[in-house]
A = this chain, B = another copy of it.
Amino acid sequence: MSNKKTPVRVYLNENELPKQWYNIQADMPNPIKPYLNPMTKELVQPQDLAPLFPMALIEQEMSTERYIDIPEEVLDKYKSFRYSPLVRAYGLEKAIGTTARIYYKYEGTNPSGSHKLNTAVPQAYYNKKEGIKRISTETGAGQWGTALSIACAMYGLECVVYMVRVSYDQKPYRKAVMQTYGATVYASPSKETNVGRSILEKDPNSLGSLGIAISEAVEDAVMREDTHYALGSVLNHVILHQTIIGLESLTQFEKMGDYPDMVIGCNGGGSNFSGCAFPFIKHKISGEKDTRFIAVEPAACPKLTKGKFTYDFGDTGKMAPITHMYTLGHDFIPAGIHAGGLRYHGDSALLSQLYHDGYVEAQAVHQTDVFKAAVTFAKAESILPAPESAHAIAVAISEANKCTEKGEDKAIFFNLSGHGHFDLTAYEAYNSGKLEDFEYTDAMLKQGLATVPEI
């Protein structure tokens, strides 16, 4: 066991919350390549994005300012829900008998149950300020749809969620949550949009997909003056907002009297990992610290470990900007793992570049190992983790075990991005020995990458 004793948990008071977000674009050794217009393949101009996003968010998307002020009105909301502790995982350390020190930041205490609310709130705020009345979005597993519903309720905005049909049918509880906060939830494909109607004409029983739902939400926003679109991950401004996690963690580690040797996070569209890691990566880029950063992805959707670093479409419908990133191909549909939030074919441009440049490592883990780690964690630390977050736990445990073998006393830090209260079908399957695992094959890789455009 590590001899270094720290408090069990550290909270921040209202007045200790960060007042600015951190923009890693100011410090990256190699900048990201710009977005391309999906129709023309020309460089995207700010005005191209204006039908979808308020100008303040478009400016953040393109900005290279190092710190960007959090508006007072957003800070007030952060004060109301950001009671996110940094916890020393004494219970887990004991359960696995490690020489390492393990810490986690818990993002599941807010009403949405995950880190998604950190960006939903400023997105709703900037839209409200620009006179927008209504926000459309898509949701798969439902964490993002829930967060945006809550944020829209805060600011009196209408919220329209296109929810993948198979989730809509299988997860009536998630739908009930969003509706309770006042959102309108459509099963996608729906009769509300041209995209939806044309798909339903061909296949009235379509189960839908995230790609279709994105296309519907984008069309909804483009067709209506009073409506904008919101995305829950991938984009630079989303990651900017999520740096609140890492910035708080830096302060909390100071109060703990420690600093992480490893920072670990699960990786879907990149916002959870990046939001937690980027404020620490700043110290690595500057040469102050030599921390390891590990992005954890499902073995069923291994974009960083198996994908290609290239320009690709962000969505199946080819309506979103073409992004330079790690991708498995925009037509690749990952297996139905329970970590729905990690089933995205591509990745954040920022994270992709930093991975490419060697600042970040990646590991792919199997669903059965993830749930084994989740249950170990739940018993030891009392919190039931989201399947997505449990990817980070699995690697934190395996890295801690490596420390133990070498007798090393390292500080391992991971982001516990949310709770698993709405993922209990998955736990039920695991408890009863019925959880499936999924392999990602070379044939899948070849087939997926064949759809990547030549640019």
Contact = CB atoms under 8 A, between A and B. Distances in A.
A8 B379 contact: no
Interface residues on A, range: 35 or more
Given A154-B382, A382-B153, A80 B9 contact: yes
Nearest to A112: B382
A11 B379 contact: no
B8 A177 contact: no
A180 B83 contact: no
A83 B378 CA distance: 18
Interface stretch (A126-134, A236-244, A421-429, A437-445): A421-429
Given A9-B14, A180-B378, A113 B153 contact: no
A179 interface: yes
A19 to B, nearest CB: 16
Contacts of A9: 14, 79-80, 83
Interface string A132-166: 00000000000000000010011000000000000
B428 A176 contact: yes
Interface in A1-49: 7-9, 11, 13-14
Contacts of A110: 382
Nearest to A175: B428
A8 B431 contact: no
A182 B375 CA distance: 9
Contact of A177 (B154, B179, B427): B427
Contacts of A87: 80
A439 B89 CA distance: 49
Among A13, A109, A172, A384: residue with most chain B CB under 10 A? A384
B422 A180 contact: no
Interface string A98-129: 00000000000111110000000000000000
Nearest to A79: B8
B180 A384 contact: yes
Contacts of A79: 8-9
Contacts of A179: 427, 431
A436 B370 CA distance: 41
B83 A113 contact: no
Number of copies: 2
Contacts of A180: 375, 378-379, 384, 427, 431
Contacts of A380: 153
Contacts of A346: none
Nearest to A121: B382
A67 interface: no
A181 interface: yes
A366 to B, nearest CB: 19
Contacts of A153: 378-380, 382
A176 B79 CA distance: 33
A369 interface: no
Contacts of A175: 428
A292 B17 CA distance: 36
A15 to B, nearest CB: 10
A76 interface: yes
A428 B172 contact: yes
A176 B427 CA distance: 6
B109 A109 contact: yes
Nearest to A117: B382
Contacts of A8: 14, 76, 79-80
Interface in A208-229: none
A83 B83 contact: yes
B177 A83 contact: no
A269 interface: no
Interface string A406-435: 000000000000000110110110010000
Nearest to A156: B379
A57 to B, nearest CB: 22
Given A179-B427, A181-B379, 4 more contacts: A11-B13, A173-B428, A176-B424, A176-B425
5 contacts: A9-B79, A83-B109, A111-B381, A111-B383, A154-B382
